[in-house]
Amino acid sequence: MTALTWAIRLIIFSFLLVFAIRNTEPTTLRFVLDYAWEAPLVIVLLAFFAAGALLGVLSVLGVIFRQRREISRLKREAARPQLPTAPEPPPLA
């Protein structure tokens, strides 16, 4: 299974490497206020991919921290000794 995983990774890496080599033409991105950025297409795609990944991670951080706090609280609660409870009286018929 490990060999299959590495083979798939090698194929994906090779595909991306060929894509990067074949797309080196300069691309111009025009922003507001006449600001322009000229860079190879691969760099532009990589920058936007990285920005999207960063935004995705940032959007999930709140949920992760909330879950960690809840797990910590539940662990403290589980570690606290429980007081013995009185047995329930038998039901009256």
Output the pLDDT for position 6.
92
Please name the residues in contact with 75: beta carbons below 8 A apart, sequence gap of 6 or more: none
Q: Residue 65's pLDDT is what? A: 94
Query: What is the spatial distance between Cα 71 and Cα 64, in angstroms, rounded to a whole number?
Result: 11
42, part of any domain: yes
CB 18 within 8 A of CB 12: no
Residue 9, domain member (yes or no): no
Please name the amino acid found at residue 18.
V
Q: What is the pTM of this model?
A: 0.59
Q: Residue 45 falls within a domain, yes or no?
A: yes
Tokens 């951080």 -> residue = 61
Tell me, what's the pLDDT at 14?
93
Q: Is 12 contained in some domain?
A: no
Task: Identify whether 3 is part of a domain.
Answer: no
- Asked whether residue 87 is assigned to any structural domain, the reply reads no
* Residue that is written with structure tokens 């409870």 in the block: 85
* Total of domains in the chain: 1
Tens digit of pLDDT at every position of the chain (93 positions): 889 999 999 999 998 889 888 888 898 988 888 889 899 888 888 889 999 999 999 999 999 999 999 999 999 988 888 777 777 888 887
Output the DSSP codes for 3-43. Answer: HHHHHHHHHHHHHHHHHHHH--SEEEEE-GGG-EEEEEHHH
Which domain range does residue 31 map to? 17-79
